[in-house]
A and B are shown apart, each in its own frame.
Chain A
């Protein structure tokens, strides 16, 4: 049922950290048969990696990558790879260690760190998840995957965090992101992603999630207003008081009811963003339908081609994204309905 055919659909989860870009070359971590330990850490001489795939960074490199990825992902929030990079380069020092300690203080979090489970299409049987009742975490999770048209394998590997255990914490956070969608019920449209990021910031304290709040400036005004008045207060309050999401062994609670899990963690369901948006859009469409008619009616003198061009241009700028999202949601609804029937 997964449909990775349409790239526009697949990239819709703009803040998901899902990297579709080809993996960066790992040469840098492999080219050193460390001749001498006395040599200083320079661009030409990197110390050996602490774990497979690790790339040790110097501070200027780290700063450059952080700044670059911050700016570029602000300009193009669809670059999940850059958001992932921003997450890694800003998490260290302190933040990722604090998050690791949060896990170490909790019996379940400790067990996760001990087992280091990875969420992949091998570790999770997707057909089994699809067979679960729709109110379970597993079914909700897989419905996100299906809607997005991706598999759990598309999360990129952590490379820039120096401590192996902390790198795993980052990886775990990344791989569980879709579960957070499932548990909060926030949709994968940008507005929902931003709200979820703020929620994660209050919950995990990772700087990247907090920086993502700046994306508020890039969304439409009505969305921004909605975020600031409804979703941010919800996200901060709930993220702060809820138990750390990193301490949930998602693999073990797949069959649990979503609402039960929310109660256990102490998360309130936010207002249904999907419904709100659909409603507003419908109202607008009706309004605009009338408006376009009046505009066309009130300007009969203008050439027909001019009007068409103008309307077309207006539509491309303002409504392209909305159309895409509408399409996604329609498709998602279909999938959900089908899932319910099954």
Chain B
């Protein structure tokens, strides 16, 4: 859903490859005038608001374009036309689409996300209930992802072509190729059903996952699998590029220790693209990972979204669009700030 929003940061990531001579990270960062940064920030925030608004409008239009509406979905297999008309009137779906959208926007300006068509409960409670499990999964995944991804990437890049590199590279490529659903089924079958070490699902624990940490192990593993691969490969590629670059050779010629060159000069440049990949990963994690939620019965935002679309519960879908849009904008802004800090020359591309 938010693919369009994050797209703009890709250019930044690619531009980093062009960084050649970076004498000192800190000196360079300080050289960016504060006023320039502020105006850049203001532009980005404005752009983010516009992007979120565009997403919401697009989502509304697309939901309207889907066949059927909430009344048809509620009527299900008993589609008595008179009853559908009655439900439609009761839900106010007989009003023009533009009017309904305007009403909703007006409510939003007052901080009111509206009420669900399907249950009559406030959309805010849907989002609040779904956000807890989603945030928990995302936080755990990221906490493990960063050290694992960077560590593997650095390990592989230390000596390109070494056994460690070949092992890490082929393993990450192989794992990356496995779809999450298949990996999830595999892990459940092995660790939960065969070995009995871990619970197969989080069924029934939806509201209180932290009290049963064992149920989180397999979902987090599945969530980690692909991002660890992509980030470690990005870090590896960035490291190798950086280690071959003239500025690193120059630094080595100055007699700096290998470790210092590697971790203080090469790594930051390698991390910049990884930071943006990380932002996209976090965005993906926070916008609800439907496959993992369904497989492990974790009632997060992805589940809320699936149900809301099936029920044509437009207010809930729109509420989610706002939340997802804001998340994407904030994360990308954060990632760009971090990238500027790590490899400031790239800032001009943003």
Bind each other:
no
**B interface residue numbers (CB < 8 A to A):** none
